[in-house]
Structure 1
Amino acid sequence: MVSTTEFKGQYSLPSKNSPLNQFEGVKTHLYRLGSEHENGTLRSFAYSDQGSPSLLDTIILSQWEDFAWKGHFGYDVTACNLKVIEGGWSFVVQLNDKWNSCVLKEHDTFLGPAGCLKPNCMNSYDELLLCISQGDKDIPEVVPSTKPPKDGLLLIANAYPVEYGHIFLVPSAINQLSFFWDKRMFSLVARIASEVNSAAFRVFFDNCTSTMPDCTFFQACYFANLLPVESAPSVAIYDSKATTGVCLYEIVDYPMKSLVFTGNDVDTLANFVSEVSLTLHDNNTAFSLLISNNGTKVFLFPQVKNLATGCYLSAWECGGYFIYRTKYDFDRASETEISSRMASATLQDGAFEDLKNLCSAVADDLIM
């Protein structure tokens, strides 16, 4: 069951009495994005009052909070202890003995082998909050109680959240996508980040992780402060603002080698990141992505498997945010221990130089 909330503003919205208790197959709210661009740059639809949340931001959080109010979460993530580790990188650690890194295993009833929704698989599902697709009107619209479109993304609540507002963003139809996510999907995710229009909203993607291999889905949640990697210094590797509008930077003075893609044109940025990511995927190179700054900044963390644990780091761990399940480990967390974990997963110098050369070559192709 998906609840409704009444919103005010110049948008097409569901009424409070929408019959969302009646499902035929999979039905939920559908949020259609407004026009994609204005003079080639991303647009966001916020309320007219300065500082007010956007329509999409309001819907996502109201649906997520309604899910919490019904008691579906495994714990109250806002009550978990947090602390900043002393040192130059200011890593953030959370104490959470109930966190489950393999929660998608509970979704096998409606997720196919590539992490996409199976058709006609449920009559009601509380975790399903919303579906988002690209619209063709100038302003966004919300359609209540409808079947998810084949080219949309399902927003599914994570019952074991890492942070406030934690959701999965899952493709709604496997036959509309390649086995690995493509440029269309990344463009849609970047537009969602722009439409949410919140500095706290981050999107994550993990490829070839040990917990859920070969699944095509993104995750997102809200962080009150910048993640450590977002405050790390960077140096420019490739600057094509005058031609393509995208730039590439290398993060320096950070324990994990990483790159940052920036740009205001969502399609160009999506092409850039997707092409590099697809090459890494085809070469069986694990990596994680962090999308921030309203969809205009993407951090890329290429990885090798930790030989001691046999695991990769998650995207939020690459960004400097770690979860500990015991108070003993939480109390003893240190910058030395965390930076060592990150360094054990980072690429060797030669492989990282090859990656930077690949990114520059892809950027050159965008100009042609």
Structure 2
Amino acid sequence: MMLRIKRVPTVVSNYQKDEGEDAARRSGGCGRNCLQKCCIPDAKHPLYTFKRVQEIPGDKCVLEHDNNQAPVAFLDSLLLGKWEVRMQRGLFLYDVTACETKVIPGRYGFMAQLNEGRHLKKRPTEFRVDKVLQPFDGNKFNFTKVGQEEVLFQFDASEDGEVQFIPDAPVDADTSPSVVAINVSPIEYGHVLLIPRILECLPQRIDRESFLLALYMAIEAGNPYFRLGYNSLGAFATNNHLHFQAYYLAVSFPIEKSPTRKVTTLGDGVKISELFDYPVRGLILEGGNTLQD
């Protein structure tokens, strides 16, 4: 029997179903408290600024990140704490913590989750699935249209080199802040979206600057079970607005235990390896002297 992967478009914001709203209302505020020009002038959200790291002290730098001097515990109090507040408010389409998850017996130990809510809350696909790079289209759903209650906090580099937390900071439209927002169709506990420079309306195409931002978020979390990833159009991304997915799962992924084989080491110290004896192909990049490497 041939197996097929079924594409299931999902809702990532509670406002995706309201695309037919009268645009004329937006001149005085669209009434949805969104992140567009109609509602952004008086918007305020918590702001967490991270310290840029130049040198990598060791292979476990991400896991050993010291949060003792941080003004707020990034993962436990800020990200997961605010995520749970949104869950209590009923902003998610279903309770992902009630979904049955188990490890499948066998050689690899793959994980399976029965998530009926994510399947049933699907929406029509808004872009071609056979083209990875597509221009941003403001007429389709994008993250500037989410309700501000779905935003957890702003996340950007510190200007003075120190980690800071401001509970109620204005949203500066001129600098286009990066934000962390909930995914209303979560696949795991603490499932959020990291949206780089949200107001620039960048298409779903990873670049050096956005990738560095994601790495800094992983460093601030400082926990090996905080997962952060990226998927493009054609690889089950449902929105053509640059974003990363992140969530907390206290179980090792099977791929993390897969054997690897070294391919080469670059001049900057980055080692490239490949998976072997595993159902899918993949490359592993690790090491380097700086985070930029």
- Normalised TM-score (structure 2): 0.69
Q: 1:55 to 1:205 in 2, by over 3 A?
A: same
The alignment status of 1:87 with 2:106, answered yes or no, reads: yes
Aligned partners of 2:40 and 2:171 also within 8 Å: no
The alignment status of 1:130 with 2:153, answered yes or no, reads: yes
Aligned partners of 2:108 and 2:254 also within 8 Å: yes
Q: 1:204 to 1:101 in 2, by over 3 A?
A: farther
Q: 5 Å matches for 1:322-333?
A: none
Q: 1:178 to 1:167 in 2, by over 3 A?
A: closer
1:95-114 Cα offsets, whole Å, 9 max, x none, are 121114977989xxxx9469
Residue 224 (structure 1) aligns with: 250
Of residues 87-96 and 38-47 in structure 1, the stretch that sits farther from structure 2 once superposed is: 38-47
SS of the aligned residue for 1:235 comes to strand
SS of the aligned residue for 1:267 comes to coil
Q: 1:93 to 1:23 in 2, by over 3 A?
A: same
CA distance in 1, matches of 2:257, 2:41: 47
Residue 29 (structure 1) aligns with: 46
CA distance in 1, matches of 2:187, 2:278: 23
Q: Give the unaligned 5+ runs of structure 2.
A: 1-38, 126-136
Q: Between Structure 1 and Structure 2, which shows a larger proportion of helix residues?
A: 1
The alignment status of 1:147 with 2:144, answered yes or no, reads: no
Q: 1:60 aligns with which of 73, 79, 96?
A: 79
Aligned partners of 2:231 and 2:237 also within 8 Å: no
Count residues with an aligned counterpart.
235
Q: 5 Å matches for 1:63-212?
A: 63-100=82-119, 112=138, 117-118=143-144, 125-143=148-166, 144-148=168-172, 150=175, 152-175=177-200, 180-209=205-234, 210=236, 212=238
Aligned partners of 2:203 and 2:242 also within 8 Å: no
- Normalised TM-score (structure 1): 0.56
SS of the aligned residue for 1:37 comes to coil
Identity %: 25
CA distance in 2, matches of 1:117, 1:251: 35
Residue 46 (structure 1) aligns with: 67
Aligned partners of 1:53 and 1:197 also within 8 Å: no
CA distance in 2, matches of 1:180, 1:84: 32
C-alpha deviation, 1:70, in angstroms? 1.4
CA distance in 1, matches of 2:79, 2:98: 21
Aligned partners of 1:116 and 1:174 also within 8 Å: no
Question: Superposition RMSD on alpha carbons, in Å?
Answer: 3.3
CA distance in 1, matches of 2:246, 2:172: 20
Q: Give the unaligned 5+ runs of structure 1.
A: 1-21, 269-368
CA distance in 1, matches of 2:177, 2:123: 19
SS of the aligned residue for 1:238 comes to strand
Aligned partners of 1:34 and 1:134 also within 8 Å: yes
Letter in 1 for 2:208: K
CA distance in 2, matches of 1:54, 1:89: 38
Structure with more contact order per residue of length (Cα contacts < 8 Å, sep ≥ 6): 2
1:62-88 Cα offsets, whole Å, 9 max, x none, are 110111121222222222211111111
Q: 1:176 to 1:70 in 2, by over 3 A?
A: closer
